[in-house]
Chain A
Amino acid sequence: MKWSALIGLVFAGALMVYSSPELPPFGASNTPPDTHVSPRYIEKGPEETGAENQVTGVIVDYRGFDTLFETSVIMIAGLATALILWGDHRERDP
C-alpha cells in the first residue's frame, strides 16, 4: 500500500509541477482574482465602510452574511464536541 501510494503521488506531483506555468506568476497584478471585484473593494472601501483596514471592511461589511454563517458553524462545532463527550461521561459513571 505504501509503495503504490508513493508512486502515484510522485506522478501527481510531477504533473502539478509540469503544469504550474499555466498559473499566474507570483506577484503579478493583472490576474483574474485582481481584476473583477477587488479593485472596487480597495478603492471605495475606506470611504464606504468607514474601516481603514480593508480586510475587516470586506469580511464584516461587504461579505457580512458569510461571516454570520461561519460564526454559527464554529458554534455548532463546539456544541457537537460538548455533546459527544458529555454523553459518554454520563454513560460511564451514572
Chain B
Amino acid sequence: MLHHILDWYNYWVIALLMLVGIYGMMAKKNLLKKLMGMNILQVGVILFWLTMSPKLGATIPVFDPALGTPIKAVDYANPVPQALMLTAIVVGIATTGVALALLIRIHRRYGTLEEDEILEKMR
C-alpha cells in the first residue's frame, strides 16, 4: 500500500493543482480571480512535465568529473523536459502580462471587474 502511494503520489498532487485552477476559472465571477486560476492551471501542467525528468540515484544534468568520463545516461537526470518547460514558464509570464493590461483597460472603461456587472453595462 505504501509502495503504491510512493510511486504515484506526484500525479495526485498535480491533479489537485489542476482542479483548483479549473475551479477558479469556472466558478468565480471576478475577472482577476479567473486569471489567477489560469495561472495555477499552467503551474500544474509545467510541474507535470517536470516530474517526468528525475531518476532514482541520478544527479543533476551538469557533467560531474567524479562520475567518470564515458558518460552513462543512467547517472544524470533527463534534461529535455526541463529545457522545454523553460520556454513554457516564460510564455506564461507573457500571457499574464498582456491579460493584466487588458484588465486595466476594462476597469477604466466600465469601472468594475465583476463579470455580471460588465455584461449588464454592455447591453
Contacts and interface: CB of A to CB of B under 8 A. Distances in A.
Partners in one complex: yes
Interface string A43-68: 10110000011110111000100110
Interface majority SS (helix, strand, loop, mixed), chain A: helix
A35 to B, nearest CB: 9
Given A21-B7, A26-B6, A66-B87, 8 more contacts: A13-B19, A20-B11, A29-B58, A33-B80, A43-B72, A45-B71, A53-B62, A59-B86
Interface majority SS (helix, strand, loop, mixed), chain B: helix
A77 B94 contact: yes
Contacts of B7: 21, 25-26
Interface centre among A33, A38, A59 (most CB of B within 10 A): A38
B26 interface: yes
Q: For this complex, into which size category does the number of interface residues on chain A fall?
A: 35 or more
A29 B54 CA distance: 8
Q: For this complex, into which size category does the number of interface residues on chain B fall?
A: 35 or more
B121 interface: no
Interface of B: 4, 6-12, 15-16, 19, 22-23, 26-27, 51-56, 58, 61-63, 71-74, 76, 78-83, 86-87, 90-91, 93-95, 97-98, 100-102, 104-105, 108
Contacts of A38: 73, 78-80
Interface string A8-21: 01101100110011
